Amino acid sequence: MRAHIITYGCQMNEYDSHLVESQLVSLGADMVDSVDAADFVLINTCAVRGKPVDKVRSLLGDLRATKARRPLVVGMMGCLAQLEEGQQIARKFEVDVLLGPGSLLDIGKALESNERFWGLQFKDELHDHIPPPPQGRLQAHLTIMRGCDHHCTYCIVPTTRGPQVSRHPDAIMRELDMLLEAGVQEVTLLGQNVNSYGIDQGKRVPGIPSFAELLRMVGASGVKRIKFTTSHPMNFTEDVVLAMRDTPAVCDFIHLPVQSGSSRVLRRMAREYTREKYLEHIATIKKHLPNAVLFTDIIVGFPGETEEDFQETLSLYDEVGYDNAYMFIYSARPGTPSYKHFEDLPRELKTERLQRLIAKQKEWSIRKNSAYVGRDLEVLLRGDAHDPAFLEGHSRGNHPVVVPKAGGIDRPGIYTVRVEHATPHMLYGKLLDAEGRVLEPQPVAAPEAAALSSPLPML
């Protein structure tokens, strides 16, 4: 069988796609790069917002047309597959295999079946399953928990991924050892709410450390860089910040979603904290990690949000001074309390507010990024940028960075870069040698030389 996986959504979905791919390879499948070359196409879906669901519908329509022309097995996995909405879509588009987030290890059983296979049970063994490490990559994701015990009124994740289950640290460290042996230098610890690691359904799990303790354990492994996502402010504690400060491998990068700057809106979201409590966390971070890079998530136009509420979000952005933010228009998702009980705001109003927030974010991002001009940063370069004369990567603070290939450096690795130019969403610089000298870009072969000679590639 020739298989192809298409992934939508979060980093957890990327990890799950890698897990399923490893299962397919162990069953003898060849992974191919396109739908046209595949006998089996599996879509890893997201249900957090309406847009990725629409993308899945469109793709399934195309695949149904392909199935009418040639033999093709089509599968869906991920959060949308767990929902009745997703199951209705699967029936409509004649999907052959449906796997929820808790049933990924059923992929072999599904492909052996001679009829439509629906796997929607949460399997305990999934939490201890260790996929093989990715090959030829310097960065990898490492899941430390699954599910979520919070019940934000806009979020479908507790329904799709179930209650929180923390992974045993022995399994985490075994997987980490495999990643290090494969050459991975940066690991991102994944969870719906990493701060509550070790406290499942409100109870401390015997034999499971706190998240701060886990950070210290992972930091002692020899890994060069550690990041984590996502944090919930309700469970964010000072000991996590202290563990970051005291563990050199942990990057000074914190993604702390606020969702709204209005305490009234936060109550409607059931976020379990206030604006004031969130700002206390920010003060703690800045006290112990004054150079921390701060990212957040913000939902614009939540039901009932007034102009005054939105102004509080804008003022919070100024008070915190975020480096960047993931900003979304509220998307009503069937099955969530906000969908059932709240009236949505007009699309035009939500769009207008989002544009104002984006303008605010760009102001802060260029201000923050410009401060790096002239500074030297440690950058993990992943490989070629869109322009093959350049390499792309990211700093310890998760800033996207682009540099020209120079001094024989043309492959992935961790290098020192001197930043020469900044935009709201990108840093541009040049590579330094071991003595701290700037390496001039290596010449580019004609006829592209003239087009590629600019220090700022068109990305």
Beta 376-384 vs 390-395: how paired, if at all?
antiparallel
- What pLDDT score was predicted for residue 445? 56
pLDDT digits (tens, 9 = 90+) for 317-355: 999 999 999 999 999 999 999 999 999 999 999 999 999
The three-state DSSP-derived secondary structure of 129-176 is CCCCCCCCCCEEEEECEECCCCCCCCCCHHHHHCCCEECCHHHHHHHH
C-alpha R_g of the chain: 23
**What does the alpha-carbon distance between residue 266 and residue 260 come to, in Å, rounded to a whole number?**
6
Q: Which residues pair with 189 in a beta bridge?
A: 142, 228
The predicted pLDDT at position 443 comes to 74
Q: Are 142 and 176 in contact (CB under 8 A)?
A: yes
Q: Is 251 known as a binding-site position?
A: no
Q: What ranges do the domains of the chain cover?
A: 2-123, 125-367, 376-452
Dihedral over Cα of 167, 282, 328, 156: its sign? positive
β-strands 145-146, 165-166 pairing: antiparallel
10 is in an annotated binding site: yes
On the 0-12 / 13-18 / 19+ scale of CB atoms within 10 A, 191 is buried
Q: What is the pLDDT of residue 128?
A: 81
- Rounded Cα distance between 440 and 457, Å, is 15
Q: Where are the beta strands (DSSP E) in 181-246?
A: 186-190, 199-200, 203-204, 225-229
Identify the residue whose tokens are 């960047």: 324
Distance CA 167, CA 198 (A): 8
What pLDDT does residue 442 have?
75
Q: How far apart are the first and last CA of the chain?
A: 36
Superfamily of structural domain 125-367:
tm_1862 like domain (3.80.30.20)
Residues lower than pLDDT 50 in the chain: 446-459
Planar angle of CA 284, 158, 168, nearest 5 degrees:
70
CATH entry 2.40.50.140 includes domain 376-452: yes
CA distance 133 to 178: 6
CA–CA gap between residue 454 and residue 269 (Å, rounded): 47
- Assign 295 to helix, strand or coil: strand
Burial label for 22, CB within 10 Å (0-12, 13-18, 19+), is middle
Please give the C-alpha separations between residue 179 and each of 134, 412, 458, in angstroms, as whole numbers.
8, 16, 34
At residue 113, the pLDDT reads 87
DSSP structural state of residue 125? G
Residues 349, 3: Cα–Cα separation, whole Å: 43
Residue-wise pLDDT tens digits, 235-289: 999 999 999 999 999 999 999 999 999 999 999 999 999 999 999 999 999 999 9
- Report the C-alpha gap between 419 and 427 in whole angstroms: 7
Class of domain 2-123: alpha beta
Buried b (16+ CB within 10 A) or exposed e, 85-111: bbbebbeebebbbbbbbbbbbbbeebb
β strands within 244-375, DSSP E:
253-255, 293-300, 324-329
Query: Which pLDDT score is estimated for 444?
Result: 62
How far apart (Å, rounded) are the C-alpha atoms in residues 95 and 92?
A: 8
Which class for 112: exposed (0-12), middle (13-18), buried (19 or more C-beta within 10 A)?
exposed
- Distance CA(113)–CA(328), nearest Å, equals 40
What 3-state DSSP class applies to 200? strand
Tallying the residues shown for the chain, one arrives at 459
Backbone angles phi, psi at 40, to 5 degrees: -135, 120
- Name the DSSP class of 323: S
425 vs 423: CA distance, rounded Å: 5
Tell me how far apart the alpha carbons of residues 211 and 96 are, in angstroms, rounded to a whole number.
Answer: 40
